[in-house]
Structure 1
């Protein structure tokens, strides 16, 4: 697919696959306990095994269930049975068109956040990383994806997410609470729990 016709999620997938291939399977990530090998296997299972999706869903809710254990067993099985280079090739090629993660409405809703977050999980675990400067269109797509994580991040205290790159644009969740300001990518990282590496201001 020509780069000019890719969605931001597709661009992130391609760039993340390049980075995974460059770093090899043993590089650190910002996901506790995961190397690049673990992360690559996770992405392939998420893309290609619909039976793993319920486990990932309850995991996002902070609930440990047998479904989550099944998803992680699938990841471990893939890592132990498949050469890393082949796993990365599967990350790059993505799901088959008939699988849920390839359906356009699902892809728009979930893949933007998934690939943006995990691309940064790899980038920001490496020495001397710097924030990327994304085009406005890409930041707008990320801004739409922040919703998936913001309500949980708001909790009972409430939350205001404010764009630093677009004065006056913000999203409010509940009443009062913290105000977190940054570009959409940084806000997404903060809302998804990457507080140590997100470049935001909190007031």
Structure 2
């Protein structure tokens, strides 16, 4: 495993996977193939609104050109500012890397403690956001070890799994995330019906 920052490592590994799979492989992003996802990432980093016209223009360049642009790295500001880079791009590239991996039969990676730590750190934000959507029910996130996080009143929905899997679930990748959802039936139904996609 590389010692590069999480965002750069996830970027490089995603680029390798995109190159291996080609432009027409599925992703977990509804309606998007791998070329759509690559175009989205290029547009996002250059602050271009992802209109249909912009997406079409980027896709017309072909997947190899998009991969080359992604491999070149993001603009310096704000994407390479220490601290911000991991939060802003680490999350984005992790989730989209998994969008491609899981849609193509690749399972969870178990050798990434830094990803687990980042996912648990971010779970406070996404967990709070999800809990607001299921009020008056509460939400508890339970990792395999350590203290759980609770948002709202006790006795609500309980989501158990590795932090990366919790993050995928709360990011709208519910069918692909390896989690266990238990607790109050109404709270569970509310969480299943909430729009938590990022």
TM-score, normalization by structure 1:
0.80
1:48 aligns with 2:17: no
Deviations along 1:30-76, one digit per CA (max 9) or x if unpaired, are: 00000000000011111122x53xxxxxxxxxxxxxxxxx5454223
In 2 relative to 1, CA 26–202 (structure 1 residues): closer, same or farther, beyond 3 Å?
same
CA contact (8 A) 1:26 1:35 kept: yes
In 2 relative to 1, CA 173–73 (structure 1 residues): closer, same or farther, beyond 3 Å?
farther
CA apart distance, 1:101: 2.5
Structure 2 match to 1:32: 30
1:145 aligns with 2:145: no
Question: CA–CA distance in 2 between the matches of 1:163 and 1:103?
Answer: 29
Structure 1 match to 2:5: 7
Match of 2:153 among 175, 185, 192: 175
Question: CA–CA distance in 2 between the matches of 1:102 and 1:135?
Answer: 21
In 2 relative to 1, CA 108–119 (structure 1 residues): closer, same or farther, beyond 3 Å?
same
CA contact (8 A) 1:27 1:35 kept: yes
Structure 1 match to 2:186: none
Equivalences, count:
178
Moved more, 130-139 or 14-23: 130-139
CA apart distance, 1:77: 2.2
In 2 relative to 1, CA 7–169 (structure 1 residues): closer, same or farther, beyond 3 Å?
farther
Structure 2 match to 1:136: 113
1:201 aligns with 2:180: yes
CA contact (8 A) 2:123 2:166 kept: yes
CA contact (8 A) 1:160 1:173 kept: yes
SS in 2 for 1:179: strand
SS in 2 for 1:146: helix
Structure 2 unaligned spans of 5+: 183-198
Match of 1:110 among 68, 88, 107: 88
Structure 1 match to 2:141: 161
Structure 2 match to 1:63: none
